[in-house]
């Protein structure tokens, strides 16, 4: 309808209804766009995780079909005759993690108690920081150190000592190599202690001061108040930290593969070499010469993935429980 350039009459648009109009307004103001963009990225995270789980599932199909649930209970790992079983690796993973936890939990909780209850705040912060730095040390460096310090120490001093004095227990019998389940368990313990310390320290410090004061008022010693009142109060959180540490220990690859001995056998002695799920994948993945072999290795990865999911889930629940308990106070 417009004829001259000086006047411009826009052609009529259909009238917008309420919701669409509000949407367009917000779109123009950028809010919906921002919402959309961040939503897309957040969904990307979902997508990636789902894809990961799917790929693990899909690429282990051959092995799952052939072996079924027996995969988890078979002891053989024979690439020549294509008979694969996860048991030696589950055994190695569980045993080394158990040894690691057995050593790390007392030391970790002990240190957490010291830092939360006894140390003056500034020293507690400083020392806690140093311990957190330990958590930042890469796994391969722990492995590097373990090869040249821990393994010779075990072979020349610790294991002979254990064999001599506790040799009647099957755990401490058998040839002494240095590398083996004990070495892997020890290095894992060193690696997971920082996690136990920092989380336990936090949950211990979150225990309301009234609890402590009540115990002390009743005549308890410092230790008794800590051990019998504070720690039980924070029990769930400490347990949560243990589960988290366990989940971490299960997935540790480099340090373990450098000292575990790489032998897929189940034995009753801690001195014997073993194998963990992560270690066997690291060693054999690039050379699995048949599709079934690769799928078996990926199935091992799937097993590990599921184990860590379960443990992490439990851990989060437990830590959440303590936090809620600690803050829900009149």
Partner 1 sequence: MKKLSALHLVLTLVVVGLGLTLVIGPKTRLVAAPPPPPSLINGAGATFPYPIYSKWFDEYHKLHPDIQINYQSIGSGGGIQQLKAGTVDFGASDMPLNDQLLGQFSFKVIHFPTVLGAVVPTYNIPGVNAELKFTPEALAGIYLGKITKWNDPALTGPNAGANLPGQDIVVVHRSDGSGTTFVWTDYLSKVSPDWKSSVGSNTSVRWPVGLGGKGNEGVAGLVKQTPNSIGYVELIYAIQNNQPYGRVRNSSGDFVKASLASVTAAAAGVAGQMEKDVRISITDAPGKEAYPICSFTYLLIPTRIADGAKRKVITDFLHWMLANGQTMVESLNYARLPKSVVAIERKSLGQIQ
Partner 2 sequence: MNYRLVWRKSVNAVMLSLTGLCTLLTVSVLFFILGYLIWNGAGAINLDFFTKLPKPVGETGGGMANAIVGSAKLLLLAALTGVPIGFMGGVYLAEFGGKTFSFLVRYTTDLLNGVPSIVMGIFAYTMVVLPMKHFSTLAGGLALGVMMIPIAVRSTEEFLRTVPMTLREGALALGASKWKAIATVVIPAAFRGILTGIMLDLARVAGETAPLLFTAFNNRFWSPGWNQPTASLPVMIFTYAIAPYDDWHRQAWAAGLVLLGLVLLANITARVVLSRKLSSAAG
> What residue ranges bind partner 1 (CB under 8 A)?
76-81, 147, 151-152, 155, 175-179, 261-263, 273, 283-284, 286-290
Q: Which is nearer to partner 2, 257 or 269 (CB)?
A: 257
- At residue 55's C-alpha, the angle toward residues 49 and 60, to 5°, is 135
79 binds, among partner 1, partner 2, none (CB under 5 to 8 A by kind): partner 1
Q: Where are the alpha helices (DSSP H) in the chain?
A: 18-29, 31-58, 61-67, 87-113, 121-136, 139-145, 151-153, 159-166, 181-206, 209-217, 222-225, 231-233, 235-251, 254-259, 277-284, 291-327
- In whole angstroms, how close is the CB of 113 to partner 1 at the nearest point? 34
178 binds, among partner 2, partner 1, none (CB under 5 to 8 A by kind): partner 1
Q: Which residues have a Cβ under 8 Å from the Cβ of 241 and sit 6 or more positions away?
A: 108, 195, 196, 199, 200, 203, 315, 319
- In whole angstroms, how close is the CB of 7 to partner 1 at the nearest point? 51
Q: Which is nearer to partner 1, 151 or 318 (CB)?
A: 151
- In whole angstroms, how close is the CB of 170 to partner 2 at the nearest point? 28
209 binds, among partner 1, partner 2, none (CB under 5 to 8 A by kind): none
Question: Exposed/middle/buried for 279, CB within 10 Å: 0-12, 13-18, 19+?
Answer: buried
The CA distances from residue 153 to 68, 131, 147, 157, 171, in Å, are 42, 23, 10, 6, 18
74 binds, among partner 1, partner 2, none (CB under 5 to 8 A by kind): none
- Measured CA to CA, the distance from residue 176 to residue 160 in angstroms comes to 8
210 binds, among partner 1, partner 2, none (CB under 5 to 8 A by kind): none
77 binds, among partner 1, partner 2, none (CB under 5 to 8 A by kind): partner 1
- Measured CA to CA, the distance from residue 207 to residue 210 in angstroms comes to 8
- In whole angstroms, how close is the CB of 289 to partner 1 at the nearest point? 5
- In whole angstroms, how close is the CB of 164 to partner 2 at the nearest point? 24
Q: Which is nearer to partner 1, 178 or 194 (CB)?
A: 178
- In whole angstroms, how close is the CB of 130 to partner 1 at the nearest point? 20
């Amino acid at each position: 309808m417009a004829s001259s350039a000086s006047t411009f009459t826009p052609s009529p648009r259909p009238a917008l209804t309420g919701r669409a109009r509000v949407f367009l307004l917000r779109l123009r103001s950028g809010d919906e766009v921002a919402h959309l963009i961040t939503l897309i990225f957040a969904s990307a995270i979902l997508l990636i995780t789902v894809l990961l789980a799917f790929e693990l599932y899909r690429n282990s199909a051959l092995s799952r079909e052939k072996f079924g649930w027996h995969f988890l209970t078979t002891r053989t790992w024979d690439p020549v005759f294509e008979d694969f079983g996860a048991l030696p690796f589950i055994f190695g993973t569980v045993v080394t993690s158990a040894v690691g936890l057995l050593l790390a939990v007392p030391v970790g909780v002990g240190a957490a108690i010291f830092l939360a209850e006894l140390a003056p705040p500034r020293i507690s912060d400083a020392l806690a920081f140093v311990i957190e730095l330990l958590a930042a040390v890469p796994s391969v460096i722990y492995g590097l150190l373990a090869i040249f310090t821990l393994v010779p120490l075990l072979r020349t001093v610790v294991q002979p000592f254990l064999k001599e004095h506790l040799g009647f227990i099957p755990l401490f019998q058998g040839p002494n190599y240095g590398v083996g389940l004990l070495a892997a368990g020890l290095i894992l313990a060193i690696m997971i202690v920082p996690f136990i310390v920092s989380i336990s320290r936090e949950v211990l410090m979150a225990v309301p001061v009234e609890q402590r004061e009540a115990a002390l008022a009743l005549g308890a010693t410092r230790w008794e108040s800590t051990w019998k009142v504070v720690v039980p109060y924070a029990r769930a959180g400490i347990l949560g930290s243990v589960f988290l540490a366990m989940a971490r220990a299960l997935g540790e690859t480099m340090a373990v593969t450098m000292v575990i001995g790489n032998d897929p056998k189940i034995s009753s002695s801690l001195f014997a070499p073993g194998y963990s799920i992560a270690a066997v994948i690291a060693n054999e993945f690039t050379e699995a010469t048949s599709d079934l072999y690769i799928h078996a290795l990926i199935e091992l990865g799937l097993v590990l993935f599921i184990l860590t999911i379960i443990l992490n889930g439990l851990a989060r629940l437990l830590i959440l429980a303590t936090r809620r308990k600690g803050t829900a106070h009149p």
